[in-house]
Structure 1
Amino acid sequence: MLRDIERYLTCPHCALGLALDATGRALRCPEGHTFDLAKQGYVSLLPGDAHTGTGDTPEMVAARADFLTAGHYRPIAAALAEAAGSVWPAGTADGLVVDLGAGTGHYLAHVLDALPGAVGAALDISKFALRRAAKAHPRAGAVVCDAWRPLPLADGCADLLLNVFAPRGGAEIHRVLRPGGSLLLVSPTARHLRELVGVLGLLSVDEEKDRRIDEKLSPWLTPVAAREVEFELRLSHRDAAAVVGMGPSAWHTDPARIAAALGSLSEPVAVTGSVRVAVYRRLADGG
């Protein structure tokens, strides 16, 4: 719930702390800026001039929810939860997990299940995704914000930050992580969904992606460990269409053409799932 994370939230206008008012239906800062909670339980902390056109659409969110609920990416969720347990500060009875680009909150929920004392902040620019994230776990709150702008979180408030198939800014990750805090980053390898890439004309993954991620994060975080998680998916045509519709390829493909191409494939379609789960540690001085 939002009440679990209110003490970590800051105003996008003045950067002062926020707190729920007496009604429990709005957040206010000492300067009087007020942010009403949506009836679905999330709150928008976007500044007034923020552009929100890049968030996932209702169709993309529905496709992701169906696909993840079916368990197709369970190996990724399990690997993330295991990694979270390994980096969580010893002796920490509580603490904050931030999921930057949380989507529906699916992965955050798995991590919170593995960390019984922690609370979670699901951050995303899509209000459609956060309608689901607000209900993904009883110890999680959902906040609309932009990953490319200052995050509405206090300095050094997070013990752990998750980033799964999502945009990220190293400077802001460094700022909100506590000294010694960790980033768990999940990114696709060049083998991810390779059986569908050519047939359906999907976006491919650059072989140099891991190196480029490390370079972009290097002023603020240092790589500590990484492992590849590879597994086989056996997808119906509907599931294969969902995995296209829930990701970045959804912006570049025609659903009718995808459906026609999938019709030529026998069911179930054998597809490779392949991701890198990397651990980064916050640098003490940001560089």
Structure 2
Amino acid sequence: MGLAPVTSWLACPTCGLALSLDERTLGCRTGHRFDLARQGHVNLLGRAAPANADTTEMVAARARFLGAGHYQPIVDALVARTRSARRIVEVGAGTGHYLARVLDAHPAATGLATDVSPMAARRAAKAHDRMGSVVADTWAGLPLRSGVADALLCVFAPRNPVEFARVTGPGGLLLVVTPNAGHLAQARERLGLLGIEGDKLARLNRSMAGAFEAIWSQRIRWTMDLDAGSLQDLVQMGPNAFHEHGEVVDGLEVDADVQLSIFRRAARQ
């Protein structure tokens, strides 16, 4: 099904008008055209991907790690809090893993994954038959029409509160997953991985003020018994892949500690 079920959600990144699908080309009435890739996704970025966009190797590592179920508690929490949503968007979606699992649990829902990495969007295009995939930059503005999402997922991804409020319908939900200070502590200590800012949650809540109201928050903690291959994938699937770190030589028990914050779109913008 690919992009067909979500075409009406999309807006031309050049002029902002609605897009329609004609065979394998998206277009607006002013003549801007965007060809679908063979894998089924479409690039609406309008420029080259940034240097820190996920690479083919990073996407493959993430697919292996998430596919092994190591972050299943996050999936379970998202599923439980999106039961009433029918139009679900995941920004910074990577492989589309979280959105695909949410759609598995909610057969009446349809989804759209966005990511700045063409390699990630390619993988997400095949993640679920009720999910479309688009290359887009959250910071630059999402190529989506206003009010199209009942729920918006943002899992370890960049946040743009103004854009999130625009594309989320009245009363719609924003579900944000952020790492707490102790997340992956053992791996960070052993391998010298990037740190986590201590005031991350407070900054998140401040950034959403005015656009969204905070309605619920859940701390999720569990321990992962990672073999050397999974630990290597954990390191390689995110920003640490671009930085120097210690060598993975064996497995490790690693604590996961994340926060699920849920916001409702404010009635007045």
- Pick the TM interval, shorter chain: over 0.9
Aligned to 2:222: 231
Q: Which amino acid aligns with 2:79?
A: A
Q: Which amino acid aligns with 2:53?
A: G
Aligned to 1:37: 36
CA-atom RMSD in angstroms: 1.3
TM-score (norm 1): 0.90
**For 1:218 and 1:109, how far apart are their aligned partners in 2?**
29
Q: Which amino acid aligns with 2:21?
A: L
**For 1:278 and 1:215, how far apart are their aligned partners in 2?**
12
**Does structure 1 conserve the Cα–Cα contact (< 8 Å) formed by 2:156 and 2:177?**
yes
**For 2:242 and 2:209, how far apart are their aligned partners in 1?**
30
Aligned equivalent of 2:138, options 136, 147, 150: 147
Aligned to 1:115: 106
Q: How far has the Cα of 1:198 moved from its partner?
A: 1.4
Q: Flag structure 2 segments of 5+ consecutive residues without an equivalent.
A: none
Alignment of structure 1 residues 46-195 onto 2, 5 Å: 46-48=45-47, 51-85=49-83, 88=84, 95-195=86-186
**For 1:252 and 1:84, how far apart are their aligned partners in 2?**
35
**For 1:51 and 1:134, how far apart are their aligned partners in 2?**
17
Aligned equivalent of 2:199, options 208, 223, 228: 208
TM-score (norm 2): 0.96
**Does structure 1 conserve the Cα–Cα contact (< 8 Å) formed by 2:49 and 2:117?**
no
**For 1:191 and 1:80, how far apart are their aligned partners in 2?**
21
Aligned to 1:273: 256
Q: Indicate the percent of aligned positions where both proteins have the same amino acid.
A: 45
Aligned to 1:20: 21
Q: How far has the Cα of 1:283 moved from its partner?
A: 1.0
Q: Deviations over 1:61-109 (max 9, x none)?
A: 1110110111111111111111212xx25xxxxx310000010010001
Q: Flag structure 1 segments of 5+ consecutive residues without an equivalent.
A: 90-94
**Does structure 1 conserve the Cα–Cα contact (< 8 Å) formed by 2:49 and 2:116?**
no
Q: How many residues align structurally? A: 268
**For 2:145 and 2:189, how far apart are their aligned partners in 1?**
44
Is 2:7 the counterpart of 1:9? no
Q: Which runs of 4+ in 1 moved over 6 A?
A: none
Q: How far has the Cα of 1:51 moved from its partner?
A: 5.0
**For 1:130 and 1:47, how far apart are their aligned partners in 2?**
15
**For 1:52 and 1:141, how far apart are their aligned partners in 2?**
22
**For 2:227 and 2:244, how far apart are their aligned partners in 1?**
19
Aligned to 2:268: 285
Q: Which amino acid aligns with 2:88?
A: V
Q: How far has the Cα of 1:179 moved from its partner?
A: 0.6
